Amino acid sequence: MTERAPLSRKLSAIAESATLKVDAKAKALKAEGRQVISYAAGEPDFSTPQFVVDAAAEALRDPANYRYSPAPGLPALKEAIAAKTLRDSSLEVALNQVIVTNGGKQAVYQAFQTVVNPGDEVLLPAPYWTTYPEAIQLADGTPVEVFAGADQGYKVTVDQLEAARTEKTTVLVFVSPSNPTGAVYSPEETRAIGEWALEHGIWVITDEIYQNLTYEGAVATSIVEAVPDVAGQTILVNGVAKTYAMTGWRVGWMIGPADAIKVAGNLQSHLTSNVNNIAQRAAIAAISGPQDEAEQMRLAFDRRRRLIVQELSKIDGVSVPNPLGAFYAYPDVTGLLGREWAGRRIDTTLELADLILDEVEVAVVPGEAFGPSGYLRLSYALGDDQLLEGIQRIQRLFA
Ligand code: PMP
C-alpha cells in the first residue's frame, strides 16, 4: 500500500494561537476546581450592552434574517460602519469600500490575502499580535520583524522601518493602540510613518480594533487622518469585539480602496459568504446606538490599568511602560530571568509563565507569543478583586 499523501505543508507550518492555548490551559485547570486567575484572554469581562442584545432578539423574529444576505455585509451595517469610520478615523468612505467580516480576525486574514503577492516582505513591528505572522505566511508573504523594546515605548521609528525596507517590501502593519503592548503612537509619530509609507508606495494594513480604548487623554490618530493621501494604499481593520464587549458575536470589517475591497469580497464570497444576519443587526445597534455603556467600560479598564501598572511596578526586576491604550500591560521582566525561583532555574519567559501558573495558579502569556522573550502580557480585562489578588500572588512568588 502506498503511504497516504501528506497534509498541506502551508497549514502544517502554522502554529496554534498561543494566547488561546494559554487561556485554554487556564480554563482546563479551573474546570478541575483550581483557583486559577487568568490574565490571558484578550476579551472584556463585561456583558454585551442590553440594547444590543435586544436588537439581536428582535432580529431573530424577522424572517428576512433567515436568508442569505449580500456577502460583503448588510447595507445598513455598512452605512453604520462608514459613519463610525468618519467619526473615529476621519475617513469618508463609500459603501463599496466596506466589507463586513466574521470578526476582526477574518478582516486581518483577508487584508493580507488582498495585498500580498508571493515573496513580498511585510514589515511587522514587534512585539506583534500573534495572528499577524501566520496570516502573512498564509498569503505567501514573508514577515520581517522590526523590534521596538520597552526603552522606546514599544513604538518603531521611521529610521527602523527604512533600515528594514528592501525592494521586496510592499506592506507595513500599523497597530495603535497595540496588542500586546498597549502602546499608542502620537499624531506626529503616526504622520511620519504614514508619509514614509506614501513616499515608498507601501500598503499599510492598520488594525484599529482598540481605537476607542485609550487613556490619560491619549488619542489613537488614524494613519489616514494623519496622512489623508495614504488612504489610497491603506486597509483599515476594525470590529465590535473590544469596544462593545462583543467578542463572541463575531463581527468585524475591513475598509480600503474600492478595487481592493472588490477582490477581498470575491474571496469572502467563496470563503464564508455573509456574516450571521442576527450578529450584523446587533452590530448596527452597537455602533449607531448610545455610546455611554462603552464609555463606562473604558473607565473601568482605565481604573484597572492604573492598578495593574502600580502593583506590577512593585516587583523587583519588573519594569512596566505605562500603556495608554487597549487593555494589556506588557512588563519587561528580563530582571527575573537567569535566576532560580521556587527551586527552578528560569531563563526564558516561556519558563517564567509556566512557573507562575504552576506555583501560584496565575495565567499570563509569555513574550515569545508576540516576538522575543523577556516580556509577559497581562490582560487587565478582568474584575477588580481578581485583578489585585492575581498580582499579589505574583508579588509573593518573586518577593
Ligand atoms: N486585532 C487585534 C489587534 C486583536 O487583538 C484582536 C483580538 N484579539 C483582533 C484583531 C480580532 O478580534 P475579533 O476577531 O475578535 O474581532
Range of the domain at 223: 50-288
Q: Same domain for 222 and 363?
A: no
Residue type, 54: D
Where is 88: in which H helix or E strand? helix 75-89
**4 part of a folded domain:** no
Give the helix, strand, coil percentages of the chain, each rounded to 5: 45, 15, 40
Q: Which atom of ligand 1 lies nearest, measured to the CA of 175?
A: 3
Residue with cell 525596507: 165
Atom of ligand 1 nearest to the CA of 210: 3
Nearest CA to ligand 1 atom 8: 42
With a cut of 70, list the residues of the chain below it in pLDDT: none
pLDDT of residue 22: 81
Residue whose CA is at the smallest distance from ligand 1 atom 3: 179
> Contact at 8 Å (CB) between 39 and 357?
no
Ligand 1 near 42 CB (within 6 A)? yes
Closest CA to 102 of 252, 314, 305: 252
Give the sign of the dihedral formed by CA 280, CA 282, CA 283, CA 289. positive
Integer angstrom CA distances of residue 160 from 101, 135, 148, 349? 33, 23, 9, 25
Quick one: 131 and 280 in the same domain?
yes
183 Cβ below 6 A of ligand 1: no
Instruction: Give the C-alpha separation, 279 to 60, whole Å.
Output: 10
Judge whether 78 and 238 are in contact, CB under 8 Å.
no
pLDDT at 27: 86
Task: Please tell me whether residues 346 and 280 are part of one structural domain.
Answer: no
Let me know whether 268 and 366 are in one domain: no
Q: What is the DSSP string of 24-82?
A: HHHHHHHHTT---EE----S-SSPPPHHHHHHHHHHHT-GGGGS---TT--HHHHHHHH
Which one of 17, 39, 105 would you pick to mutate in the ligand 1 pocket, going by the greatest count of ligand atoms within 8 A of its CB? 105
Q: What is the CATH number of the domain that holds 376?
A: 3.90.1150.10
> Ligand 1 in contact with 127 (CB < 6 A)?
no
Provide the CATH number for the domain around residue 155. 3.40.640.10
- Ligand 1 pocket: which of 17, 108, 210, 244 to mutate (most atoms within 8 A of CB): 108
Q: Please tell me if the CB atom of residue 103 comes closer than 6 angstroms to any atom of ligand 1.
A: yes
**389/395 Cα distance (integer angstroms):** 10
**212 CA from centroid of ligand 1 (Å):** 14
Cβ proximity of 237 and 205 under 8 Å: yes
Q: How far is it, in rounded angstroms, from Cα 41 to Cα 20? A: 7
Q: Is the Cα dihedral 124, 130, 133, 138 positive or negative?
A: negative
Task: Count CB neighbours of 310 within 10 A.
Answer: 11
Distance of CA 328 from the midpoint of ligand 1 (Å): 13
| 132 Cα to the center of ligand 1, angstroms | 10
Are 304 and 268 in the same domain?
A: no
Nearest CA residue ID for atom 7, ligand 1: 42
CA distance 345 to 343: 7
Q: For residue 143, what is its C-alpha cell?
A: 514577515
Determine the length of the chain: 399
| pLDDT score, position 42 | 85
- In the DSSP assignment, the letter for residue 371 is S
Same domain as 181, residue 157: yes
Please report the pLDDT score of residue 88 as a whole number.
97
* Nearby residues of 85 by Cβ (< 8 Å), 6 or more positions away: 91, 92, 93, 98, 236, 238, 255
Do 134 and 14 meet the contact criterion of CB atoms below 8 Å apart?
A: yes
Query: Cβ(247) to ligand 1 under 6 A?
Result: yes
- CB-ligand 1 contact for 371 (6 Å cutoff): no
Q: What is the pLDDT of residue 1?
A: 85
Whether 3 maps to a domain, the answer reads no
Q: Say if CB 251 and CB 283 are below 8 A apart.
A: yes
- Cβ(105) – ligand 1 distance below 6 Å: yes
Angstrom distance (rounded) from CA 220 to CA 213: 9
pTM of the model: 0.96
Number of domains in the chain: 2
Considering 288, 316, 342, which residue would you say is the last residue of a domain?
288
